[in-house]
Amino acid sequence: MAATQIETVSTGADKAKLAAAIVLAVGGFVAFYLLGREGALVQWGALIVGLAAAVAMFAVSESGRRLWAFGRDSWREVKKVVWPTRKESIQMTAYVFGFVVIMAIFLWLTDKTVEWVFYDLLLGWRK
């Protein structure tokens, strides 16, 4: 059995960066609601500045760097995928629809056969 690995924030400075990011994000939302009388431009500006500062603070933390590296690696893997052509996609979709129709007919026939065997032959109930 494989041991599960739990990743935690390792340093006090990193914890402080994450806490500051949370405080900045919450501060942006609080400023958005408190500056309602100042106008929409000031209100939205405070929210955007608060969230941008929170994202920047998170980005310089170890968790932010790991998330950014994960995103880069994921994008690199997506670029390696060989996507099907339009023709291949249409063919596979047609195969799936064909299979669904054939399976629906098979299940309907099976249901009617079982119904006939139980109700007509075994129990003698007529509809």
Domains of the chain, residue spans: 12-81, 84-127
Task: Please give the pLDDT value at position 127.
Answer: 56
Q: What is the pLDDT along the chain (127 residues), one digit of tens a residue?
A: 556 666 554 688 888 988 999 999 999 999 999 988 888 899 999 999 999 999 999 999 988 899 999 999 999 999 999 989 999 999 999 999 999 999 999 999 999 999 989 888 888 776 5
Let me know if 17 is exposed, middle or buried by CB neighbors in 10 A (0-12, 13-18, 19+): buried
Contact 57, 20 (CB under 8 A): yes
3-class secondary-structure state, position 126: coil
Task: Please give the pLDDT value at position 10.
Answer: 67
The CA distance from 41 to 36, in Å, is 10
Query: Residues, the chain, total?
Result: 127
Task: Please give the pLDDT value at position 114.
Answer: 93
Task: Please give the pLDDT value at position 1.
Answer: 55
The CA distance from 21 to 54, in Å, is 4
Helix (H) or strand (E) holding 31: helix 12-34
Q: Among all chains, which residue has been given the structure tokens 């933390």?
A: 61
Task: Please give the pLDDT value at position 92.
Answer: 97
